[in-house]
């Protein structure tokens, strides 16, 4: 568990443009927006990455996230959006407190994805799926 700027935002020690709050979740506008309406939805629990988040906070985020997406779409008029969730430095995470980005897409404004799919080996895939399933 780590103390980051987001814990201070939740406590109101650093100002934010809040759009939602309940006992487990806080949401506010990103100050480095990729597009108008770029919003961050965070658990109040200070877990660094999603794999470390409790079931209770995960459920609370899952319950409210679609509603905040709808509100962002309604307020900005965007018809498309991405939800982005980075975990770890190599995956572009800068603030080590779990957060979901809601990023409206307006033409070129919004999230640009460099998506380079590779080949799929079914034998290796079957083994990997077994390993992941056993670990869940």
Binding site for ligand AMP (CB under 6 A): 5, 14, 16, 30-32, 40, 86, 92-95
Is residue 99 among the annotated active site residues? yes
Q: Look at the block and give the residue holding tokens 């006992």.
A: 23
* Residue among 60 and 103 whose Cβ is closer to ligand AMP: 103
Radius of gyration of the chain (CA): 17
CB of 89 to ligand AMP, least distance (A): 9
Residue nearest to ligand AMP (CB): 32
Choice among 97, 99, 101, 122 that is catalytic: 99
* Residue among 14 and 75 whose Cβ is closer to ligand AMP: 14
Residue 4 contacts by C-beta under 8 Å, 6 or more apart in sequence? Answer: 46, 95, 96, 97
CB of 126 to ligand AMP, least distance (A): 33
3-state secondary structure of 2: coil
Asked whether 10 and 4 are in contact (CB, 8 A), the reply is: no
CB of 118 to ligand AMP, least distance (A): 24
Query: What distance, in Å, lies between the first and last C-alpha atoms of the chain?
Result: 22
* Residue among 75 and 94 whose Cβ is closer to ligand AMP: 94
Asked whether 2 and 46 are in contact (CB, 8 A), the reply is: yes
Indicate which residues carry an active-site annotation: 99
């Amino acid at each position: 568990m780590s103390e980051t700027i987001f814990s201070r935002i939740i406590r109101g020690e650093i100002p934010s443009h809040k759009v939602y709050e309940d006992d487990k979740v806080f949401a506010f506008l990103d100050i480095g927006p990729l597009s108008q309406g770029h919003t961050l939805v965070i658990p109040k629990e200070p877990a660094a990455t999603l794999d470390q988040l409790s079931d209770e906070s995960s459920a609370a985020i899952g319950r409210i996230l679609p509603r905040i997406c709808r509100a962002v779409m309604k307020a900005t008029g965007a018809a498309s959006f991405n939800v982005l969730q980075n975990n770890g430095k190599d995956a572009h995470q800068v603030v080590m407190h779990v957060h979901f980005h809601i990023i409206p897409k307006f033409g070129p404004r919004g999230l640009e994805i460099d998506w380079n799919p590779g080949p799929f080996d079914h034998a290796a895939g079957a083994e990997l799926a077994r390993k992941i399933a056993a670990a869940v």
